[in-house]
Amino acid sequence: MTISRRNVLLGGAGLAGAAALPGLGAMPAFAQGAAMPQFKPEPGASLRVLRWSPFVKGEEDAWLANTKKFTEATGIEVRIDKESWEDIRPKAAVAANVGSGPDIVWVWFDDAQQYPDKLLDVTPLANALGAKFGGWYPGNEAYAKADGKFIALPLATIGNAVCYRESWVKDAGFSQFPNETKGFLELAKALKAKNHPMGFTLGHGVGDGNNFCHWVLWSHGGKMVDEQSKVVINSPETVAALKYAAELYKTFIPGTESWLDVNNNRAFIAGEISVTANGVSLYYAAKNDPKLADMAKDIKTTNMPVGPGGVAELTQTTSACIFKYSKFPQAAQAYMAFMFDAPQMNAWIQGASAYCCQTLKAFASNPVWTSDPNHAPYAKASDGSWSTWWRKPPPASAPRKKPPSARKPAPTASIAGEHPRVISRGGSSARDLRFNMPCRRAAPGRAGSAGRAQRRRRATAFPVGEGCPAGRRVPGPTSGASAGSGRASSCLR
């Protein structure tokens, strides 16, 4: 087996083209009671997988080990390529446009909704996995479905939480980390005075910047659209969120407006900042380095503070898609079925050290979630990916605010950029939720039929209005019913 920085080739021979077997034939059997589809890997099948670059080495190692087991059992060669989080999107869009490239790609959030006609319908496999392993978490499922069909397999949710230096927080006069936004701002000012500033990503990366900015907006009760898909970003709540962000920004280390997903990690590990929001990978970067043992002991994690708008967090969903152009669709489905089977999925979740939260409910009992107190804020990332950002309307007896058109117009709060895009309790794109920050890159996949499809309004599988927590929704064609609402809503990319 040869491993390079960007790809690994896992090879084997002898069993490719074997007769059809239940699920995966000679592979370890699935648990009893689940009727798994029959797959016939094509003769001479080999697969290419494109995934995002890992932040936790144990996660990648576990996936590669599972892939090797698959190859040894089936003889199907699997090549795994890696790209940065930002580069996955244009690579996938190009593959969709030209009809050539990896058989399987790991995509972010609503990426699969941009070219659903280019993706293999994996509904039978997804339904069988859901029935077998306690069902999919609704938020992850919604991102993987179009027009009631699974066009992807929900793979994981990458949690987001506050990471902080406990000793510095105490030195700033706080015995406990504040659990609400007012106290959080007071802590930020105190840490700045102690020369231990906070630092939150504001650049156009996939994860951390979106997580932070959407938390600011939602925690103050702001939203992009209402239950009728009417844009309501221009609201007093949004203005309050912007004012809060401006005050908080004054306490940050300089330069955060250009940070991508890796920059806050580096600043934290270098001791330049005291508080940031990140996946558990930041903690493990210190824990796995003997030179940073003291720092690792001082790192604590907690959920984002609660604001006037209530609990609001954004985390990232990722799904695995199989392109229709693949010459080996049966082998590709067999591979994914194997990777979702309990021995492999549990090993992967364990290896990820709480970085990747399960999308199937049965795996919530994985011991990784209780093996370290710092894992707790990440344990419910998938469970909340639907319920946290879906706000039900108040009961009929509750007082209702006048519609935005009947209220005095609030000061304009603009979000710069060219290309809007849906984001679930996780997401990023060419047009991110940034406070008056221009888009620095063009949206991928603008050429060809898939590009034309992206320019059209396309119905997705989310509830109207708050179904897209980032509010990247406008009224559009009703080509598909949205989950939980019986109506359709659209996404512009």
**Each residue's pLDDT tens digit in the chain (493 positions)?**
333 323 333 333 333 333 333 344 333 344 444 588 999 999 999 999 999 999 899 999 999 999 999 999 999 999 999 999 889 999 999 999 999 999 999 999 889 999 999 999 999 999 999 999 999 999 999 999 999 999 999 999 999 999 999 999 999 999 999 999 999 999 999 999 999 999 999 988 778 888 899 899 999 999 887 878 899 999 999 999 999 999 999 999 999 999 988 899 999 999 999 999 999 999 999 999 999 999 999 999 999 999 999 888 888 899 999 999 999 999 999 999 999 999 999 999 999 999 999 999 999 999 999 999 999 999 999 986 443 343 333 233 333 333 333 333 333 333 322 222 222 333 333 233 333 332 323 333 333 433 433 333 333 333 223 333 333 322 222 222 222 332 222 222 2
CA geometry: angle at 5 spanning 423 and 350, to 5°? 60
Q: Where are the alpha helices (DSSP H) in 233-279?
A: 236-249, 263-269
Assess contact for 379 and 181: CB atoms under 8 A.
Answer: no
Distance from C-alpha of 119 to C-alpha of 326, rounded to nearest angstrom: 10
HSE-CB of 311 using CA atoms within 13 angstroms: 9
Report how far apart, in Å, the C-alpha atoms of 370 and of each of 288, 410, 422 are.
19, 46, 33
What are residue 383's phi and psi, to 5 degrees?
A: -60, -35
188 is written with which tokens? Answer: 């930020």
Burial code (b: 16+ CB inside 10 Å, e: under 16) for 123-147 equals eebbebbbebbeebbbbbbbbbbbe
The CB density around residue 93, as the number of other CB atoms within 10 Å, is 25
Q: What is the amino acid identity at position 395?
A: P
Assess contact for 357 and 57: CB atoms under 8 A.
Answer: no
> For residue 179, what pLDDT is reported?
95
Distance from C-alpha of 382 to C-alpha of 425, rounded to nearest angstrom: 9
User: What structural domains does the chain harbor?
Assistant: 2-158+316-373 (3.40.190.10), 162-302+405-493 (3.40.190.10)
Assess contact for 167 and 298: CB atoms under 8 A.
Answer: yes
HSE-CB of 186 using CA atoms within 13 angstroms: 10
| Global model pTM greater than 0.75 | no
> Locate tokens 């509750």: which residue?
398
The CB density around residue 468, as the number of other CB atoms within 10 Å, is 29
Distance from C-alpha of 139 to C-alpha of 102, rounded to nearest angstrom: 26
442 is written with which tokens? Answer: 């063009």
Q: Using DSSP, state whether 133 is helix, strand or coil.
A: coil
Distance from C-alpha of 127 to C-alpha of 119, rounded to nearest angstrom: 17
Q: Please name which of 313, 442, 294 lies closest in space to residue 390, comparing C-alpha atoms.
A: 313
Q: Which helix (H) or strand (E) holds 322?
A: strand 316-322
Distance from C-alpha of 241 to C-alpha of 243, rounded to nearest angstrom: 5
Pairing of strands 316-322, 104-108: antiparallel
Angle between helices 57-74 and 342-351 (to 10 degrees): 160
Q: Please name which of 2, 368, 17 lies closest in space to residue 159, comparing C-alpha atoms.
A: 368
> For residue 468, what pLDDT is reported?
38
95: left (phi > 0), else alpha (psi -120 to 50), else beta? alpha
Q: Which helix (H) or strand (E) holds 63?
A: helix 57-74
Residues 6+ apart with CB under 8 A from 399: none
Burial code (b: 16+ CB inside 10 Å, e: under 16) for 203-217 equals bbbbbbbbbbbbbbb
DSSP letter string over 401-419? PPPGGGSPPPPP-----S-
Q: Please name which of 268, 272, 261, 262 lies closest in space to residue 287, comparing C-alpha atoms.
A: 268
CA geometry: angle at 50 spanning 355 and 384, to 5°? 35
Residues 6+ apart with CB under 8 A from 180: 305, 306, 307
Distance from C-alpha of 12 to C-alpha of 78, rounded to nearest angstrom: 9
Q: What is the amino acid identity at position 429?
A: S
> For residue 34, what pLDDT is reported?
57
Say how many Å lie between the first and final Cα of the chain, rounded. 40
